[in-house]
Amino acid sequence: MSSLKEKLASKLGPMREKVGSIVKGHGDLKISDVSIAQAYGGMRGVKCMVWETSALDPMEGIRFRGFTIPELQEKLPKAPGGEEPIPEGIFYLLLTGDLPTEDDVKEITAEWQKRGALPKYLIDVLKAIPKDTHPMTQFSLGILTLQKDSIYAQKYREGMSKMEYWDPMYEDVMNLLAKLPALASYIYRRSYKKDKHIPADPKLDWGGNFAKMIGVEDETFKELMRLYLVIHSDHEGGNVSAHTTHLVGSALSDAYYCLSAGMNGLAGPLHGLANQEVLRWVMDVMEKLGGVPTKEQLKDFCWETLNSGQVIPGYGHAVLRKTDPRYTAQREFALKHMPDDEIFQVVSALYEVVPPILEEQGKAKNPWPNVDAHSGCLLYHYGVKEYDFYTVFFGASRAIGVLSQLIWSRALGLSIERPKSVTTEWIAGQIK
């Protein structure tokens, strides 16, 4: 057994006991009420699911197992010569709740290298669909195709005790995460780089290898990928990709079914697809005005967007009420590595222009930028110019968080989800 799996196994008993005694001793304690507005309005703020790996504060932003992004940048191990935390480290932290050592992350890198090759049947499936199929469709389909090899599904068929569910789930998660950079890169190179592929480098970490297989040689892009893949990994449980993964998992579907479903949710323009929409929108204004626009021109463009009934992509959030710290981390990366980039200048100018406009319009509860307002300009700078691909990077990262929680959900025996729906007629009948 790997030391990660052993460590996880050692945490299961105490956590099961803790949850068991909370439910037994205090199961009737109310933690939420639901209003009619919440029932129609996307259940915003209703506390009705458990998610161990991260928690989101509206003012402060995300904490991963209690750690902020700057704390992760300081405390998680780095690649040799690198300054950014590596994704293997956040996976260890999310899964175990403890900070990893250098050896811990090396072991995960080696494990993922070993499990990372794509089977031929997967390539055959991907080859059968048109190259201009949206990369998120290809990504979700690729993940689903791998379901054939689910160890969890096989063990379930053979008959296994509930107490064992977490073990084959862990194995599936390791196999799946290991393959995501190669799967994503295969889709990228097939769709945009004449089907010429780049093999994995056994000396590189997960994020570094991802950057290499995409085909960008710049070492700073490897650092960007590491940071990007860490900060997009988890955003508590209620967002669409996390909740979908969780919901599908609650039916005891395996990790492949769950993640594929989660990715379909991430592909929506109000969720992960916003990153491609931001860059398309920024490039539109730059094209229309022939370069970097003035702030006055940007203001006009924002109002044009709003007055035509569209949202300003990358701004607003269902939970956050301040600038997203994931935006800030990316902004700091840009200030350090590419301060003169023209698209970054537009993104920076928008940071000044958009919030007062959204406040003046008076609809959005949060006028500040979210993670998606920034990521595209960084990827574009290093040569990944195909916006439609951007959400796949987000998806590979999000897999780390939602799959870590999925292992815990099976370990804790969380129930099949079945909230009660009601009709409008029923609601009308409640109003006295």
Ligand X SMILES: CC(C)(COP(=O)(O)OP(=O)(O)OC[C@H]1O[C@@H](n2cnc3c(N)ncnc32)[C@H](O)[C@@H]1OP(=O)(O)O)[C@@H](O)C(=O)NCCC(=O)NCCS
Whether the Cβ atoms of residue 378 and residue 122 lie closer than 8 Å to each other: no
Among 153, 346, 364, 400, binds ligand X (CB under 6 A): 364
Active site residue 26: no
User: Which C-beta is closer to ligand X: that of 221 or that of 389?
Assistant: 389
What is the smallest separation between the CB atom of 246 and ligand X, expressed in angstroms?
18
Residue 390 interacts with ligand X (CB under 6 A): yes or no? no
Active site residue 317: yes
Residue 372 interacts with ligand X (CB under 6 A): yes or no? yes
Q: List the interface residues with ligand X, window 266-305 (CB under 6 A).
A: 270-271, 274
Whether the Cβ atoms of residue 298 and residue 357 lie closer than 8 Å to each other: no
Q: Kindly name the residue from 317, 324, 374, 381 that is annotated as catalytic.
A: 317
Residue 395 interacts with ligand X (CB under 6 A): yes or no? no
User: Which C-beta is closer to ligand X: that of 170 or that of 228?
Assistant: 228
The DSSP call for residue 316 is -
User: Which C-beta is closer to ligand X: that of 399 or that of 412?
Assistant: 399
Whether the Cβ atoms of residue 186 and residue 118 lie closer than 8 Å to each other: yes
Among 191, 250, 370, 397, binds ligand X (CB under 6 A): 370
Give the residue at shortest CB distance from ligand X.
316
Residue 363 interacts with ligand X (CB under 6 A): yes or no? yes
User: Which C-beta is closer to ligand X: that of 149 or that of 388?
Assistant: 388
Among 77, 116, 262, 314, binds ligand X (CB under 6 A): 314
What stretches of 267-323 show up as alpha helix (H) in DSSP? 274-289, 295-307
The DSSP call for residue 237 is S
What is the smallest separation between the CB atom of 333 and ligand X, expressed in angstroms?
18
* Nearest alpha carbon to residue 240 among 275, 276, 268: 268
The CA distance from 151 to 366, in Å, is 43
Give the length of the chain: 432
The CA distance from 326 to 73, in Å, is 12
What is the smallest separation between the CB atom of 392 and ligand X, expressed in angstroms?
16
* Nearest alpha carbon to residue 160 among 148, 169, 172, 173: 169
Residue 360 interacts with ligand X (CB under 6 A): yes or no? no
The CA distance from 196 to 215, in Å, is 10
Among 39, 289, 311, 338, binds ligand X (CB under 6 A): 311
The CA distance from 320 to 126, in Å, is 37
* Nearest alpha carbon to residue 409 among 246, 297, 286: 246
Q: Kindly name the residue from 232, 235, 243, 271 that is annotated as catalytic.
A: 271
The CA distance from 87 to 412, in Å, is 25
Whether the Cβ atoms of residue 118 and residue 179 lie closer than 8 Å to each other: yes
Cα torsion through 38, 44, 46, 49, rounded to 10: 130
Give the count of beta carbons closer than 10 Å to the beta carbon of residue 210. 27
What is the smallest separation between the CB atom of 310 and ligand X, expressed in angstroms?
7
Instruction: Please classify residue 205 by burial: count the beta carbons closer than 10 Å to its beta carbon, then call 0-12 exposed, 13-18 middle and 19+ buried.
Output: buried
Among 313, 325, 395, 401, binds ligand X (CB under 6 A): 313
| Residues in contact with ligand X, shown as a per-residue x/- string from 316 to 355 under the rule CB under 6 A | xxx-------------------------------------
What is the smallest separation between the CB atom of 278 and ligand X, expressed in angstroms?
7
User: Which C-beta is closer to ligand X: that of 8 or that of 364?
Assistant: 364
What is the smallest separation between the CB atom of 393 and ligand X, expressed in angstroms?
14
Residue 377 interacts with ligand X (CB under 6 A): yes or no? no
Instruction: Please classify residue 263 by burial: count the beta carbons closer than 10 Å to its beta carbon, then call 0-12 exposed, 13-18 middle and 19+ buried.
Output: buried
- Please work out the total of residues on this chain that contact ligand X, with binding judged by CB under 6 A: 19
Whether the Cβ atoms of residue 256 and residue 144 lie closer than 8 Å to each other: yes
What is the smallest separation between the CB atom of 180 and ligand X, expressed in angstroms?
21
What is the smallest separation between the CB atom of 226 and ligand X, expressed in angstroms?
21
* Nearest alpha carbon to residue 85 among 226, 235, 181: 226
User: Which C-beta is closer to ligand X: that of 156 or that of 303?
Assistant: 303
Q: Which residues bind ligand X (CB under 6 A)?
A: 270-271, 274, 306, 311-318, 363-366, 370-372
Which residues are marked as active site? 271, 317, 372
